[in-house]
């Protein structure tokens, strides 16, 4: 059961949370499933993907059951950094090398995902502090700047709505030299977005069960049986929207996702005039093009939130957890390097979550086995993409022809290559990033 103590205090003097710093847990839950029920479509997992899929299926007249092991929004959906972005995961030069032919379709998919999710927020009237600022992949060294310039050209060539910008002219903090401005999307409070979707779900015709972990999904000729502790659902079709947790379900295609733990830290409030002294005059989310990215964003509560740099793997089952001290200390060091004039600004809170990485770095959707579908794996970019992917899959299950954006990520067969992500490779990537940072500090 996920209901562990919400917070502890680590050695760094930061309050750690095993949930999210963006929102409180709900105080009331949907019922647990007990006994047996039937439905047209059972959705497993109540994150953005599962909730959006269930809502769309119900809108289209299906009888839908959604099963969530914690509460809807418990996973990455409430915890993320809040960048609503039209970017794909992965370096554009790498993507262009691996998927030159597919790239324009993938870019169109990611761009439409950002616009779709933006309009979903409006359509459902979710108050989630959304600011349509766009986001910047910003360089912190001359070589990164050259790299981002090339990336901007590749992305534009493939049809992306981006432009290369100079840091100072654009209003980035002075340590950020410039980079790729993604015009679509912006920044929001993901906890409020996820719990707003949950409110819409609970008010809809979807039969939602929380604190109901799915133990097994067994397909048969006319549908599938979904087993939970104390009950089961007979469904014609099943959607797996279990993201990083997919690995724990035997029905999931082997090697489909590698769960990776990602951490975030938030500072104490900073006076606006002090923030202005950093040169950060344009309110925009920043991500760096390191091998493992760093992200920095302002929040509506006057703080700066930052994250990633060091990632952790999951040797065992995924449970609730807090970030560890080493990771938080490293993130704080990075923050002080990028914002030298804010050296006295203290970190206050830290939390993290599991993301699902796929070996292709691309989102994936398809049929795991007869009557069991998946829409998963947004590689740390699911805020915009997961609701869109869930909705596109729902439309297909409701009888529509496969949308061209769903086709862009659809897997004909549920076969996945082994992942290169492991504790040693992630540590090596972090070490390379720190060595290149040090090299550029010596030779500005």
Ligand X SMILES: Cc1cc2nc3c(=O)[nH]c(=O)nc-3n(C[C@H](O)[C@H](O)[C@H](O)COP(=O)(O)OP(=O)(O)OC[C@H]3O[C@@H](n4cnc5c(N)ncnc54)[C@H](O)[C@@H]3O)c2cc1C
Choice between 151 and 243, CB closer to ligand X? 243
- Cα–Cα distance, 179 to 414 (Å, whole number): 37
- Smallest distance, ligand X to C-beta of residue 336, A: 20
Q: Which residue, among 391, 398, 408, has the nearest Cα to 117 in the 3D structure? A: 391
Report the nearest approach of ligand X to the CB of residue 401 (Å): 24
- Told to check if 76 binds ligand X by CB under 6 A, we report yes
Name the minimum Å distance from CB 328 to ligand X: 13
Nearer to ligand X, 4 or 435 (CB): 4
CA distance linking residue 330 with residue 226, whole number of Å: 42
380, 395, 405, 426: which one contacts ligand X (CB under 6 A)? 380
68 binds ligand X (CB under 6 A): yes
Handedness of CA 95, 96, 100, 104 (dihedral sign): positive
258 contributes a contact to ligand X by CB under 6 A: no
Beta carbon nearer to ligand X, 92 or 307? 307
Instruction: Select 67 or 235, whichever has its Cβ closest to ligand X.
Output: 67
> Is the CB of 383 or the CB of 426 nearer to ligand X?
383
Q: Which of 103, 305, 355, 393 binds ligand X (CB under 6 A)?
A: 355
Toward ligand X, which CB reaches closer, 290 or 381?
A: 381
Decide the pairing of beta strands 64-67 and 207-209: parallel
For helices 92-99 and 103-124, angle between their N-to-C axes, nearest 10 degrees? 120
Cβ 443 to ligand X shortest distance, Å: 32
Annotate each residue in 314-343 with x if it binds ligand X (CB under 6 A) or - if it does not, as one string.
Answer: ------------------------------
148-207 residues in contact with ligand X (CB under 6 A) are none
Our measurement of the distance from residue 57's CA atom to the centroid of its chain's CA atoms, rounded to an integer in Å, reads: 22
Q: Rounded to the nearest whole angstrom, what is the least distance from the CB of residue 307 to ligand X in the complex?
A: 6
Minimum distance, C-beta of residue 52 to ligand X, in the bound complex (Å)? 8
DSSP string over 90-102: S-HHHHHHHHTTT
111 exposure class (CB count in 10 Å sphere: 0-12, 13-18, 19+): buried
CA distance 13 to 239: 42
Q: Are strands 364-369 and 410-411 parallel, antiparallel or unpaired?
A: parallel
Say how many residues touch ligand X, by CB under 6 A: 43
| Residue 391 is a binding residue for ligand X (CB under 6 A) | no
Residue 14 bridge partners (DSSP): none
- Say how far apart CA 40 and CA 58 lie, in whole Å: 10
Query: Does 347 participate in binding ligand X (rule CB under 6 A)?
Result: no
**62 vs 67, beta carbon nearer ligand X:** 67
Is 45 a binding residue for ligand X by CB under 6 A? The answer is yes
Of 28 and 169, nearer to ligand X (C-beta) is 28
Return the range that interacts with ligand X (CB under 6 A); candidates 21-29, 75-83, 164-172, 365-373.
75-83
Per-residue x/- track, 280-319, ligand X (CB under 6 A) = ---------------------------x------------
Backbone angles phi, psi at 354, to 5 degrees: -90, 130
Count of C-beta atoms within a 10 Å radius of residue 237: 20
DSSP string, 182-226: E-S-EE--HHHHHHHHHHHHHTSS-EEE-S--EEEEEEETTEEEE
- With binding defined as CB under 6 A, does residue 392 bind ligand X? no
Run of H or E including 173: none
Q: How far is the CB of 171 from ligand X (least distance, A)?
A: 20
Query: Could you say whether residue 66 binds ligand X (CB under 6 A)?
Result: no
Q: Out of 21, 82, 191, 334, which residue is the one contacting ligand X (CB under 6 A)?
A: 82
Task: Give the helix/strand (H/E) hosting 118.
Answer: helix 103-124
Q: Which range binds ligand X by CB under 6 A, 200-208, 335-343, 349-357, 392-400?
A: 349-357
- Give, to the nearest 10 degrees, the angle between helix 190-202 and helix 48-59: 30
Residue among 352, 372, 373, 405 that touches ligand X (CB under 6 A): 352
User: 444 by DSSP, 3-state: which?
Assistant: coil
* Strand partners for 423: none
- Cα→Cα distances 354→13, 34, 282, Å: 23, 28, 30
Using the contact rule CB under 6 A, the part of the chain among 125-133, 200-208, 229-237, 240-248 near ligand X is 240-248
> Dihedral of CA 193/194/195/197: which sign?
positive
Residue from 54, 213, 304, 357 touching ligand X (CB under 6 A): that is 213
Q: Is 208 in the site for ligand X (CB under 6 A)?
A: no
The residues that touch ligand X, with contacts defined as CB under 6 A, are 44-50, 67-70, 74-77, 79-83, 85, 213-214, 241-245, 249, 262, 264, 307, 352-353, 355, 376, 378, 380-384, 386
């Amino acid at each position: 059961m996920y209901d562990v103590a919400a917070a502890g205090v680590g050695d760094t003097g930061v309050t750690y949370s095993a949930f999210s710093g963006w929102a409180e847990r709900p105080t009331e839950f949907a019922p647990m499933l007990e006994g047996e029920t039937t439905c047209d479509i059972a959705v497993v997992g109540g994150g953005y993907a599962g909730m959006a899929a269930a809502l769309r299926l119900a809108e289209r007249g299906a009888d839908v059951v959604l099963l969530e092991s914690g509460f809807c929004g418990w996973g990455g959906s409430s915890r993320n950094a809040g960048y609503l972005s039209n970017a794909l995961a992965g370096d554009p030069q790498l993507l262009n090398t691996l998927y030159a032919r597919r790239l324009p379709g993938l870019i169109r998919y990611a761009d439409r995902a950002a616009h779709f999710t933006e309009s979903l927020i409006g359509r459902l009237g979710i108050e989630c502090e959304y600011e349509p600022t766009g986001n910047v992949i910003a360089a912190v060294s001359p070589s990164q700047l050259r790299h981002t310039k090339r990336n901007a050209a590749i992305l534009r060539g493939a049809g992306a709505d981006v432009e290369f910008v100079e840091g100072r002219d654009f209003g980035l903090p002075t340590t950020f030299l410039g980079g790729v401005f993604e015009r679509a999307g912006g920044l929001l409070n993901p906890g409020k977005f996820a719990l707003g979707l949950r409110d819409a779900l609970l008010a809809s015709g979807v039969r939602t069960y929380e604190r109901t972990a799915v133990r097994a999904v067994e397909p048969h000729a006319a549908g599938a049986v979904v087993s939970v502790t104390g009950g089961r659902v007979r469904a014609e079709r099943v959607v797996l929207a279990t993201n990083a947790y997919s690995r724990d379900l035997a029905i999931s295609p082997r090697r489909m996702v590698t769960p990776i733990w990602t951490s975030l830290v938030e500072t104490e409030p900073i006076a606006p005039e002090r923030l202005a002294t950093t040169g950060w005059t344009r309110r925009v989310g920043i991500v760096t093009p390191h091998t493992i990215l760093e992200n920095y964003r302002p929040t509506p509560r006057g703080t700066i939130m930052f994250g990633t740099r060091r990632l952790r793997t999951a040797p065992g089952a995924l449970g609730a957890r807090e970030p560890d001290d080493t990771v938080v200390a490293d993130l704080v060091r990075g923050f002080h390097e990028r914002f030298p004039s804010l050296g006295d600004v203290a970190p206050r809170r830290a939390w993290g979550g599991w993301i699902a990485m796929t070996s292709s770095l691309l989102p994936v959707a398809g049929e795991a086995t007869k009557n069991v579908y998946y829409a998963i794996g947004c590689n740390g970019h699911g805020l915009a993409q997961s609701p869109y992917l869930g909705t596109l899959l729902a439309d297909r299950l409701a009888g529509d022809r496969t949308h061209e954006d769903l086709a862009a990520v659809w897997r004909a067969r549920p076969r996945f290559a082994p992942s290169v992500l492991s504790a040693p490779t992630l540590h090596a990537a972090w070490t390379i990033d720190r060595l290149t940072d040090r090299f550029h500090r010596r030779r500005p």
